Structure 1
Amino acid sequence: MRPFLFLALAAPAFAAPAGPARVPVFERTLVFNLPADMIRANDRNNGTNILIEYVPKGQTLANWTRLVTIQAYRGLGRSPMKSADIARQAFYPASCTTGPIYRDGGERILASGLKRSIIANGCPSLPEGAYPKALRGAGEQNYIMMFRDADSIYTLNYAVRGAAFAGKAPPLSVEGGEAILRDVFGEVTLNPSP
């Protein structure tokens, strides 16, 4: 499994949403509102893993202040591991040495039969080499909507990056992950592709 980025924290200014983004992920389509100023900066699909990243216009994967990430892992949904264990293995910010943030809001079964978890993580001050292109000393928070079906795991992440907040409360609520994701993305659906 490719390590997940335990992304971001800066000014929580949410850009106005654009029209719905429709992103195919294996045999499903992820639909959500993509903030209007975000542009696609990365798009990788090897048939088993998908990684798509969006950054604000004028920023890059090296200097972003907000980041939207879509990830999908074909076959991981068949794992005997519980979703909470998969999420912790993927999203716990183990490289953070100054008060790592990790909160799993639990798993819900949606009407469609999909399982969904909301995870918040972050680091008050990133160490050198925390992940590729990490900004040493920056503070980051990440909010993750993780879906699981019988075959695959899919994630939609919103991350913010800014000044370090070691010794202080995080700029964004750790408990408010679901509300933050709703404010940024609106109603998110992951349905079988037509």
Structure 2
Amino acid sequence: MEAMTVVAVAPRSLVVLAGLPGAGKTTMLADVDTGGAAAVVLDSDQVRGYLRTVLPASLPYRFYRPLVHLVHRLRILWFALFTSGLLLVHEPSTRPTTRVGLVAVGLVSARPRHFLWLDATAEQALSGQVRRGRLIRSRSFTRHVRRAARLRRRFAEGHAPRGWQAMTLLSRGDRLRLAVA
């Protein structure tokens, strides 16, 4: 049975849903309840899907992966600066530089910053990758897992990532409701 997790956020918040690749971030964001509040959801899969339609079908993803990540991050900055509503961002965020970059986007755009961590074991995340039919390279996944273990320990002690005003731990069985106030 799914549990509903209600997270209070300000109307213009930058809400980042982070976690291991395959943890279920895309699935959770697809079902998020914003209570009718205007929200933009940004997921790198949106960019990947678009590029797949305009690039040659024979081009392997590994060749345009850097472009997907660049465009995704540019979209985050663009929407943070030029939209007025809630901004929901899908980003693994296991890298400190990614979290710092997102904090900078929040500061430049004067948005309150809320960090959501979707907790999943390496096995659960790998299973999620298999289910979606897209495995990331094993070396890359191992780095994500190692960094996530350090983050998980800090989060369990109640420490939000530096620069984030609030943090919420989520499990794969949670449904997410953002209470905009």
Measured against the shorter chain, the TM-score band is: under 0.3
Where is the strand percentage greater, Structure 1 or Structure 2? 1
Q: Point out the structure with the larger helix share.
A: 2
TM-score, length basis structure 2: 0.28
